[in-house]
Structure 1
Amino acid sequence: MSLEAVHLWVGQHPHLAGLAVFAIVLAESLAVVGLLLPGTVLIFTFGTLVGGGSMDFVSTYAWALSGALLGDGISFWLGRSHRQRIRTTWPFSRFPAVLERGIGFFRRYGGHSVLFGRFFGAVRGIVPLVAGMAGMPSGRFVGYSAVAVALWVPVFLAPGILFGASLELASGTTARLVGLGLGLIALLWLAVWLTARVYAFLQPRARDLILLMFRFAGEHRLFGRITLPLLDSERRDYGGLALVGGLILAAVFAVGRLFAVPPLPVSFAAWRTPEADYGFTVLESLGSRDALLIEFGVLALWLSSHRSFVALAHWLIAAIFALSMGWMGDHAFAAPPFDTHVLRGCVASGFVAVLVAPAFRKIGGRVVYAVAAALVVALGFARIYLDRSEIPAVLFALAVGLAWLIPLGIACRRHCEAKAASLGAASLVTACLTLVLAAEAVRHGPAEFVHDPLVRRMTTAEWLADGWKRLPAYRLQPLGRPHQPLPLQWATTLDAARENLEKLGWRMAVPLSWMSALQWFNPRAKPEEWPVLARFNEDSEDALRMLHPENDGRWAVLRLWPSRYVLAESGVPLWVGRIDLLEAANRFGFLGYFREARASDRIDAAALLAPERVRGLVATPVVRDAGYGAVLIRER
């Protein structure tokens, strides 16, 4: 979903957005729940919406204040009502250090801990619980809590507000570029965070879960025939794994045949660069069939040399499953429902993580799993970026890979030799993947991805007849479906266009630079002195950007982009463009900048550049199939 869509939804559902703020801050303030919820990240997100103008600060502050006060109150009530049973109740019975941290904080600062603890995530939800256990007077607690929450909410909203304001300042181009880069970082962070959380939850309960599965398998024969070989270390599990793999293959085949998921309207064409194409192409090689075979061969030789034959058998089963799924995706479907590269990378990285994680006990097995998860997510992003795959196919591949890795991992940990988990195996696999990347990097180069744009030629008669239909009708934006019409087509040079527009009162917009950006913070600067940010169409920045004063203190901005066409008679390039309406905005009394007006306030380009207003030029109005008006401009 694009940034504009999020702002639009929030603007249409302000009460739902407020309830979301209330619920998230409430959960963030509760004991235990706040430790599991990435509340800080979510609060930052809402601050971004406030800074972008989609949410009102006062109402957001009120919702957050109410949620925080209620959360503190519930935690305090739980501590007071169940003070004798808190230590013996899950999760404190399993993780006593969490409660002890809060008790130590309360002993150190006394009642002030309610105020100070609000600003420390590790004890935010625990201190009110401990205050209730310690018998702190209710009135005193409410006073401390109210002051703490009143200060905490704006402090935690402030970074998001500033970031949101900067995104609005950089409407379009920079916002999407920065947002996309931050989105990739956030995606990797989410993969690492989620993996670490799941590991922390499952690792201490692994023995109990296995015993529960043993009992369930004993009560259900069919389930037991599949799972008991995987769970019982005294029995061979190869047949059980083969059966599970076959069931997953059959299920994926059936789902792929019965359901066709349409692709999501996501495109990275507007910000693709040769360097990024090169880097992601190299990264994509980690999911290739050749990379899997090389990784399999190297690790198989290592396991054989250390006589870890059971681990070798599991590695062989894992590789056969990944190759079989790849073969099925390439031959059983016209368009495979899953991404074969991501599936191969997921199976290979997941199995290696399961195999070597016990060797990293000093730093924690969760680190190994987190690295594997980040690698697979980066591989999936590379596939989407390069237009090799769609988001649903990548997600389906991850789901299939996890469905296979769970039983495979259980069987491997129950049956594989302990010596198979070694730092040497991890180092060997890392070196192998590095060599694969290096070989792919040498085979390609950034220059390979630099393509001169293909320039097409057409005569003036062809252009005026129906050739104008070949030019782009909509602006292609990053991460969104093309929806902004391009109603201008102009046969001219940039110098000639600028001279003609200046005669009509247009002026060149100030480009963004380190010096011009200071005008945003200059309360005495006039709007025409503010920089106007560039916009992209596909991979091209607007080549011409000019302003014209309109009524009510608003400004029209005209932008032209290359169309990749020239007139055959003169070689004059054809440009496509649009005119938008900008409003002068001011935030915080000192931050002045342009923002786009509502869609209903767009300027009609055909009316603004009508023939009677453009001397020396001929403007031919046309109507596209979509129904909106366009204008073709050329010299007389």
Structure 2
Amino acid sequence: MSVPEFQQLLQLSAVNPGWVVAIGFALAFVEALALVGILVPGILLLFLLGAMVGWDGPLLLGLGVSVMAGAVAGDGVSFWLGRRYRDQLRTRWPFAKRVQWLDLGEQFFLRHGGKSIFIARFVGPLRPVVPLVVGSMGMPVATFVPRMLVACALWSPVMLLPGALFGESLELAAEFGGRLTLLLLVLVIGGWLLIWSTRSVYETAARRSTWWLKNLALWLRRHRHLGHWFGGLVEPGRREVLSVVTLGLLLVVSLAVLFGALVLAPLSTAAWEAGFELSGLAASMRSHFADPVFLVLAMGVSRPVLLTLIGFGALMLLIQRRWNALLHWLLATLGGWFLALMLNALMGFLLGRPAISGSIGQVPHVEFVVTTLVLGFGALIVAKDFRPRQRKWLYLSTVALLALVALSQFYLARATLNGLAAGLALAMGWLALTGIGYRSRARPYGAPGWRLAAFIGAWLATVLFYVPPNYPEFAAAHQLVQPTRQIGAVAWWTGGWRSLPELRSRIGRADRQRFDAQLAMSRNELEQALTASGWVRPPRLGVDSLRPIFGTRPRPERLVHLPRDFAGQPDDLMRRRMLSGGRVVVLRAWDSGARLEPSATPVWLVQARVLEPVTRLGLFNTWREIDEDSNRALAELRTMGADWQWRRPGPEAPWLVRSAPGGR
């Protein structure tokens, strides 16, 4: 779902709250139906529904009641189906094809008894199964209904409140940085889908692995030549059969992707070049609020850190005298690093790519390849000694961390999507190849938790040692700089102003994002005019400013104004003037990058807004924009500069302001 589509849903919820309540009932009902709910990502959909509503008390309450009613209805239908068909469930569609879910529900019910109704309501895979199972096993209605009502009453707010809080935070984020809103949506929705899909694939493979291996072994026995080479890998009794076969399948898929990329590269240069154009989206996501997080994350997988981790892992294995693991660790990491460099050079030759500074031109992206190999093979070594259920969380954490690393590389324009995809394919193929060699000969080794903690501790210690002294230089190298361009002063005044941005951000309402004026004058002249007209600097964000934010009542004179982003940069100039009733008018100005010839006068993009203090969520104080007073803000703006010239080319156009004819 794109951001504009999400904004349309927000407007729909405001205009048609009845539809939102009805959709909430339908989602909760379908999500609770026997087996059907397993296929529906109900948690994500209810989260988004809560985000649409936000902190609208009456509507949120109505939605909560409807979601509870839908959950009650869905559980009731599932319970009735269980009582109606009982032993026939296992022979009827669709239950006959999902017998393992019924077995899981029965085991859970036999273990926890009546408490299973309450517990299962909060556990996704069990939620649509347990009511069906307890009905088929003859639980009395008088026992089922009270437990089900209590569980649904508690489940409804648990599902909706996080989304409502997120929706409220999106509103705040849109006020101060529209790009931050987009980034939050990408992180939350994309991260949830990634974890959900990875977990589903892992659990499906774990359930079906015995059947798959049995049939694969039979098939290899019928094919003598293939069975001679590969039959030993899947024969019963061989160590790590499932892991080796899984890695083999991963190797086949990865090699197919890489082979296709190498063969098609010379024939599809335009598609590869489109990846570099797509990397321009990174700039549209940049926000000075999020930049430090992604800068630290990118530095955490830089070359010195990765080399230190490879050395630390080798030292641990050397001390433990695990020669097989040590050999494959060095082969996976250093060998994969060398392979990535060679393949990157080959792809550059095939594509005829011009030299590009930095790592963005790499296909595959070398740093991401090595990061995937270090984290992936490290997880592979440690996971062998964990219980199967614990392995799942280790793999999920590794996938989530790699996704964040990939996002940080794309966000900072250090990699294209082409480079990341090719890097992932290469890393997974090499990881599978070396992993097969390791797992087929690996022996158990104790204390996996301590080894994992030592590896993570070494990583964090390396990051703490490396990042602080190198952060300023790294941040400067990845700083977004507004490009400068020359415009004739007369040309700007007569129509060239249209070449400058009209909106601060495309996220949020257009009337709130629109620039009110374009001012052509030096920074000193603008600051002096503001001071002479009674505009003052607002309180600075710092430790002392926290008390007014969390005070019992808002104090406008001490309440800070958070910076707002334009093109990934905070406002260059901010002043305010106090009004009656605790309201203020705030002026923000950003350097457009345009310079008017012949005197190189900068053009400032200006917004003036009337704000009033409000308390959000009953927890903290902030500012709310008053749309009805937009004319008042412009009137306050026009009190400045007695000798300034003002011109508005049209009703939707910004005011053009200059201090002397022809600009300066």
Superposed pair shares fold, TM > 0.5: yes
Write out per-residue CA displacement over residues 226-247 of structure 1, whole angstroms, 9 at most, x where no aligned residue.
9768757899999999987654
CA distance in 2 between counterparts of 1:359 and 1:318 reads 24
CA distance in 2 between counterparts of 1:246 and 1:588 reads 52
Please say if residues 554 and 581 of structure 1, whose CA atoms lie closer than 8 Å, have aligned partners that are also in contact: yes
Please say if residues 227 and 240 of structure 1, whose CA atoms lie closer than 8 Å, have aligned partners that are also in contact: no
Q: CA deviation at 1:387?
A: 1.7
Letter of the 1:6 counterpart? F
Write out per-residue CA displacement over residues 278-308 of structure 1, whole angstroms, 9 at most, x where no aligned residue.
5234223169996898699879989997257
CA distance in 1 between counterparts of 2:460 and 2:620 reads 48
Q: CA deviation at 1:26?
A: 3.5
Q: Equivalences for 1:13-24 in 2 at 5 Å? A: 21-22=24-25, 24=27
Aligned partner of 1:72 among 61, 67, 75:
75
Query: Judging changes above 3 Å, is the alpha-carbon distance between structure 1 residues 241 and 46 closer, same or farther for their aligned structure 2 residues?
Result: closer
**Structure 1 residue aligned with 2:518:** 488
Please say if residues 171 and 533 of structure 1, whose CA atoms lie closer than 8 Å, have aligned partners that are also in contact: no
Is residue 644 of structure 2 the alignment partner of residue 618 of structure 1? yes
Q: Equivalences for 1:111-126 in 2 at 5 Å? A: 118=121, 124-126=127-129
Is residue 75 of structure 2 the alignment partner of residue 51 of structure 1? no
- The secondary structure found in structure 2 opposite 1:81 is helix
- The secondary structure found in structure 2 opposite 1:364 is helix
CA distance in 2 between counterparts of 1:618 and 1:35 reads 66
Aligned partner of 2:278 among 218, 238, 263:
263
- The secondary structure found in structure 1 opposite 2:300 is helix
Is residue 565 of structure 2 the alignment partner of residue 539 of structure 1? no
Q: Which structure 2 segments of 5+ residues have no match?
A: 354-360
Q: CA deviation at 1:358?
A: 1.3
Please say if residues 26 and 70 of structure 2, whose CA atoms lie closer than 8 Å, have aligned partners that are also in contact: yes
- The secondary structure found in structure 2 opposite 1:351 is helix
**Structure 1 residue aligned with 2:368:** 342
**Structure 1 residue aligned with 2:440:** 415
**Structure 2 residue aligned with 1:306:** 323
User: Which one is further off, 290-299 or 280-289?
Assistant: 290-299
**Structure 1 residue aligned with 2:176:** 173
Letter of the 1:332 counterpart? L
CA distance in 2 between counterparts of 1:441 and 1:154 reads 41
Write out per-residue CA displacement over residues 128-161 of structure 1, whole angstroms, 9 at most, x where no aligned residue.
2344135456688668756764664345423432
Please say if residues 28 and 34 of structure 1, whose CA atoms lie closer than 8 Å, have aligned partners that are also in contact: yes
Please say if residues 230 and 407 of structure 1, whose CA atoms lie closer than 8 Å, have aligned partners that are also in contact: no
Q: CA deviation at 1:406?
A: 5.7
Query: Judging changes above 3 Å, is the alpha-carbon distance between structure 1 residues 53 and 399 closer, same or farther for their aligned structure 2 residues?
Result: farther
Aligned partner of 2:106 among 92, 99, 102:
99
Is residue 257 of structure 2 the alignment partner of residue 248 of structure 1? yes
Query: Judging changes above 3 Å, is the alpha-carbon distance between structure 1 residues 453 and 10 closer, same or farther for their aligned structure 2 residues?
Result: closer
CA distance in 1 between counterparts of 2:562 and 2:2 reads 18
**Structure 1 residue aligned with 2:357:** none
Q: Equivalences for 1:471-486 in 2 at 5 Å? A: 473=501, 484-485=514-515
Please say if residues 560 and 578 of structure 1, whose CA atoms lie closer than 8 Å, have aligned partners that are also in contact: yes
- The secondary structure found in structure 1 opposite 2:656 is strand
Is residue 301 of structure 2 the alignment partner of residue 284 of structure 1? yes
Please say if residues 250 and 428 of structure 2, whose CA atoms lie closer than 8 Å, have aligned partners that are also in contact: no
**Structure 1 residue aligned with 2:344:** 326
Please say if residues 329 and 340 of structure 1, whose CA atoms lie closer than 8 Å, have aligned partners that are also in contact: no
Q: CA deviation at 1:173?
A: 2.1
**Structure 1 residue aligned with 2:403:** 377
- The secondary structure found in structure 1 opposite 2:647 is strand
**Structure 2 residue aligned with 1:6:** 6
Query: Judging changes above 3 Å, is the alpha-carbon distance between structure 1 residues 207 and 425 closer, same or farther for their aligned structure 2 residues?
Result: farther
Query: Judging changes above 3 Å, is the alpha-carbon distance between structure 1 residues 145 and 274 closer, same or farther for their aligned structure 2 residues?
Result: closer
CA distance in 2 between counterparts of 1:532 and 1:432 reads 40
Q: CA deviation at 1:251?
A: 0.8
Is residue 566 of structure 2 the alignment partner of residue 561 of structure 1? no
Q: CA deviation at 1:616?
A: 0.8
Query: Judging changes above 3 Å, is the alpha-carbon distance between structure 1 residues 183 and 628 closer, same or farther for their aligned structure 2 residues?
Result: same
Please say if residues 75 and 131 of structure 2, whose CA atoms lie closer than 8 Å, have aligned partners that are also in contact: yes
Aligned partner of 1:498 among 530, 546, 558:
530
CA distance in 2 between counterparts of 1:43 and 1:527 reads 37
Please say if residues 490 and 576 of structure 1, whose CA atoms lie closer than 8 Å, have aligned partners that are also in contact: no
Give RMSD over aligned pairs. 6.2
CA distance in 2 between counterparts of 1:338 and 1:20 reads 44
Q: Equivalences for 1:598-617 in 2 at 5 Å? A: 616-617=642-643
CA distance in 2 between counterparts of 1:220 and 1:19 reads 57
Give TM-score, length-normalised by structure 2: 0.67
User: Which one is further off, 86-95 or 398-407?
Assistant: 86-95
CA distance in 1 between counterparts of 2:30 and 2:640 reads 61
Query: Judging changes above 3 Å, is the alpha-carbon distance between structure 1 residues 148 and 295 closer, same or farther for their aligned structure 2 residues?
Result: closer
Is residue 592 of structure 2 the alignment partner of residue 577 of structure 1? no
Query: Judging changes above 3 Å, is the alpha-carbon distance between structure 1 residues 36 and 166 closer, same or farther for their aligned structure 2 residues?
Result: same
CA distance in 2 between counterparts of 1:570 and 1:596 reads 37
Is residue 658 of structure 2 the alignment partner of residue 633 of structure 1? yes
User: Which one is further off, 228-237 or 126-135?
Assistant: 228-237
Please say if residues 92 and 99 of structure 1, whose CA atoms lie closer than 8 Å, have aligned partners that are also in contact: no
Q: CA deviation at 1:31?
A: 5.3
Q: CA deviation at 1:114?
A: 5.8
**Structure 2 residue aligned with 1:358:** 384
CA distance in 1 between counterparts of 2:25 and 2:228 reads 48
CA distance in 2 between counterparts of 1:229 and 1:628 reads 75
- The secondary structure found in structure 2 opposite 1:418 is coil
Please say if residues 508 and 546 of structure 1, whose CA atoms lie closer than 8 Å, have aligned partners that are also in contact: yes
Query: Judging changes above 3 Å, is the alpha-carbon distance between structure 1 residues 324 and 202 closer, same or farther for their aligned structure 2 residues?
Result: farther
Query: Judging changes above 3 Å, is the alpha-carbon distance between structure 1 residues 466 and 120 closer, same or farther for their aligned structure 2 residues?
Result: closer
Write out per-residue CA displacement over residues 410-452 of structure 1, whole angstroms, 9 at most, x where no aligned residue.
x447733436999599789768867875785488243663589
Please say if residues 48 and 162 of structure 1, whose CA atoms lie closer than 8 Å, have aligned partners that are also in contact: yes
Q: CA deviation at 1:508?
A: 8.2
- The secondary structure found in structure 1 opposite 2:385 is helix
Q: Equivalences for 1:410-489 in 2 at 5 Å? A: 411-412=436-437, 415-418=440-443, 441=467, 444-446=470-472, 449=475, 463=489, 466=492, 473=501, 484-485=514-515, 487-489=517-519
**Structure 2 residue aligned with 1:160:** 163
Query: Judging changes above 3 Å, is the alpha-carbon distance between structure 1 residues 128 and 528 closer, same or farther for their aligned structure 2 residues?
Result: farther
CA distance in 1 between counterparts of 2:58 and 2:257 reads 45
- The secondary structure found in structure 1 opposite 2:563 is coil
